[in-house]
Structure 1
Amino acid sequence: MQRSLAYLRLTRPQLAPVRRLSLSAPRRKDPWPLPHSPEHIASTESPTDFPPPTPLPRPNEAVETTRARLVYQSRKRGTLESDLLLSTFAQEHLAGMSAAELREYDKLLDEPDWDIYYWATGKRTAPERWADTPLLKKLAVHARNEGKATRRMPDLF
């Protein structure tokens, strides 16, 4: 028993030196800036040389099946911000969309999550293919939430 306690005792020179923090020392740049901070947005520029994504062809898909698939894809994006924005948008607008508008929304959902989020919130300008579309304008109005509605994830059926 005495021998095992001897291993636990540390003398002063064996301790690692304590590094004191100084308030006057210059701060290093944060390697992982918080999302939505100006540093984060500047470090995650969207590539402009990539062609737009092409959705999978779905011949003979019924409009109601398309609508149900888009509701699910709007809810299960991968980031909480995009999930909340797109799922509440889908809940409010998909029921009234025509087949052509559903196809356009399907193309929009093929874009990366953060790009859609930043385009809708106005943090970045949308590329030419989405800049003047009525769909993105509707999404931007939805993102502004001028009515100050409390939004929560809609239930999946």
Structure 2
Amino acid sequence: MAAKSVLCRFSSPKRAIFQQGPLSIARLSNSSGKGKSPSNDTLFTPLILPLKEYKNETTELTRARLLYQSRKRGMLENGLLLSSFAAKHLDEFNEKQLSLYDKLINEPTNDWDIYYWITGAQPTPEYLDNEVMKMLKEFVKNENRTSRLTQPDL
């Protein structure tokens, strides 16, 4: 039985498919047991998982959680960029901005998507194109050439 396509589904009535792109695995098995390279028509359609709700969380606790989550990303590049951004801006954010930042760093299931959006390599999805994303994109440009080789101290 040849595998022709792979579809990743996380059922959530609140979310919809936000992009399609090439399948990112090297080989698919077919009935003969030999590997088969995926063709261009093989698509992976990631879905966005619903945000975990933190009930009765104070604003200060939200800031602390987001600072920690900004530091502990799945890839070093995002950890450096997001932790530096969070250290600089989280204390200034109001509750709406904190919510937008929480959505930005916690809803997408692929860290590479976040990286490509904030660096401008790919267009930002409409639902994430907001004031916090604009601030983050401006921060990533690093026009003052600030060193960001390590995460800021806590």
TM-score normalised according to structure 2 size: 0.67
Q: Is the 8 A contact 1:54 1:107 kept in 2?
A: no
Q: Which has the higher strand share?
A: 2
Q: Distance in 1 between matches of 2:86 and 2:44?
A: 27
Which runs of 5 or more structure 2 residues have no equivalent in the other structure?
Answer: 1-20, 25-42
1:48 CA displacement: 8.8
Q: Distance in 1 between matches of 2:142 and 2:23?
A: 27
Q: Which has the higher helix share?
A: 1
Q: Distance in 2 between matches of 1:70 and 1:101?
A: 12
Aligned to 1:56: 52
Aligned to 1:138: 135
Aligned to 1:117: 115
Aligned residues: 113
Identity, % of aligned pairs? Answer: 43
Which runs of 5 or more structure 1 residues have no equivalent in the other structure?
Answer: 1-40
Tell me which structure has the larger Cα radius of gyration.
1
SS at match of 2:103: helix
Aligned to 2:28: none
Q: Is the 8 A contact 2:63 2:90 kept in 1?
A: yes
TM-score normalised according to structure 1 size: 0.65
Over residues 20-69 of structure 1, what are the superposed CA-to-partner deviations in whole Å (9 max), with x where a residue is unaligned? Answer: xxxxxxxxxxxxxxxxxxxxx9876xx89554332111111000000000
SS at match of 2:124: coil
**Alpha-carbon RMSD:** 2.2
